């Protein structure tokens, strides 16, 4: 079971690490679903030495039938990570604007790509500034890294696998969108409202608050209420695989290192009109 220190880092500890002889590589992943671009925030101020990496264009593939935030092309991802200074086996810390979603998707993507030493700054940029730690606007010129992308280090679900997981005994597919979207009462982004038949709803605010997670025991207790137990196969989805990556991080914190991400999520599910859609509770 991974410990919290393997997954999250508090601002004060990261500040000390950045003063060391060989500090971690820090990536700024600030992002908003509907804009403006996170790069604008980065230009105003960021952690010392942090390099901006764009979630939409560098950590994900182009939107389409595979979803709004599909898996990236491995070669393109490797080039982007190397340009940001990511080195093979060298620690990386990712942070975002505070809700923890983009940072979690970056954490998941690096882990999926085979780069294990990566942590999320707990509470993101707001936690850093609230601690009175330094920020700057200088854009670093990182030494190119040598990371090698080896896809498949974390489990991924496609639509068929998600459907089978949702329907199987002893398995749980978690939909982490807001309850009205899950029930099909509203859908502000995708063309069809509802959820994958058999999926259970655990909205993100029930396991994370302002990008901060409760203790592992509290996470295990919350996920247990929808049937996640030892030996239970578990996966998560959302609208496009960003918030659900945060759910996978929460499940890792709870000790479920086998939790799978349906990367295409609802945006991929509804791309095929033949797939069934459930509504209601």
Question: Over 70: is that where the pLDDT of 1 sits?
Answer: no
Dihedral-angle region of residue 165 (phi above 0 means left; psi in -120 to 50 means alpha; beta otherwise): alpha
Q: Contact at 8 Å (CB) between 219 and 14?
A: no
Q: Contact at 8 Å (CB) between 133 and 10?
A: no
The domains spanning 4-130 and 156-269 adopt the same CATH topology: yes
Question: Over 80: is that where the pLDDT of 276 sits?
Answer: yes
CA atoms within 13 A on the CB side of 234: 30
Whole-model pTM: value is 0.96
* Phi, psi angle pair for 136, to nearest 5°: -150, 170
* Distance in angstroms between the alpha carbons of the first and the last residue of the chain: 33
Find all residues with CB under 8 Å of 157, minimum gap 6, and list them: 165, 235, 237, 260, 261, 262, 263
Q: How many residues does the chain have?
A: 281
For tokens 């983009």, name the residue.
Answer: 102
Q: 37 pLDDT band (50/70/90 cuts)?
A: confident
Q: Contact at 8 Å (CB) between 72 and 10?
A: no
Strands (E), 213-259: 233-237
173-201 confidence digits (pLDDT tens) = 999 999 999 999 999 999 999 999 999 99
SS3 of residue 101 by DSSP? helix
As a whole number of angstroms, the distance between CA 254 and CA 258 comes to 11
Q: 8 pLDDT band (50/70/90 cuts)?
A: very high
Run of H or E including 174: strand 171-175
Partner residues linked to 233 by β-bridges: 171
- The confidence score (pLDDT) of residue 3 equals 66
Fold annotation for 4-130: Oxidized Rhodanese; domain 1 (3.40.250)
Q: Does the active-site annotation cover 60?
A: no
Per-domain residue ranges of the chain: 4-130, 156-269
Residue 71's alpha-carbon distances to 123, 167, 278, in angstroms, are 25, 25, 26
Q: What is the mean pLDDT of residues 69-87?
A: 98
Q: Give exposure, 240-251, as e/b (b: 16+ Cβ within 10 Å).
A: bbbbbbbbbbbb
Residues 121, 196, 238, 271: which is the catalytic one? 238
Q: What is the mean pLDDT of residues 246-252?
A: 98
* Phi, psi angle pair for 123, to nearest 5°: 90, -5
Q: Contact at 8 Å (CB) between 145 and 87?
A: yes
Q: Does domain 156-269 have CATH number 3.30.60.50?
A: no
Find all residues with CB under 8 Å of 225, minimum gap 6, and list them: none
% of residues, the chain, pLDDT over 70:
99
Q: Which residue has the higher pLDDT, 227 or 36?
A: 227
90-148 confidence digits (pLDDT tens) = 999 999 999 999 999 999 999 999 999 999 999 999 999 999 999 999 999 999 999 99
């Amino acid at each position: 079971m991974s410990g919290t220190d393997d997954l999250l880092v508090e601002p004060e500890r990261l500040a000390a690490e950045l003063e060391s002889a060989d500090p971690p590589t820090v990536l700024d992943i600030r992002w908003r679903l509907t804009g403006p671009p996170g790069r604008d925030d980065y230009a105003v101020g960021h952690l010392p030495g942090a390099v901006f990496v764009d979630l939409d264009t560098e950590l994900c593939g182009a939107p389409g039938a595979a979803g709004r935030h599909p898996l990236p092309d491995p070669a393109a991802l490797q080039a982007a990570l190397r340009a940001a200074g990511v080195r093979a086996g060298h620690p990386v810390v990712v942070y975002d604007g505070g809700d923890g979603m983009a940072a979690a998707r970056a954490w998941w993507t690096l882990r999926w790509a085979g780069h294990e030493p990566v942590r999320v700054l707990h509470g993101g940029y707001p936690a850093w500034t609230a601690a009175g730690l330094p920020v700057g606007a200088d854009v670093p010129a990182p030494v190119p890294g040598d990371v090698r992308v080896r896809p498949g280090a974390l489990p991924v679900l496609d639509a068929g696998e998600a459907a089978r997981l949702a329907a199987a005994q002893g398995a749980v597919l978690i939909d982490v969108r807001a309850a009205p979207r899950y029930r099909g009462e509203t859908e502000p982004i995708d063309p069809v409202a509802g959820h994958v038949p058999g999926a259970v709803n655990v909205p993100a605010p029930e396991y994370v608050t302002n990008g901060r997670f409760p203790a592992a025991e509290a996470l295990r207790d919350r996920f247990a209420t929808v049937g996640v137990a030892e030996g239970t196969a578990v996966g998560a989805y959302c609208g496009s695989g960003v918030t659900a990556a945060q759910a996978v991080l929460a499940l890792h914190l709870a000790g479920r290192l086998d939790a799978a991400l349906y990367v295409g999520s609802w945006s991929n599910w509804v791309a095929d009109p033949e797939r069934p859609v459930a509504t209601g509770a």
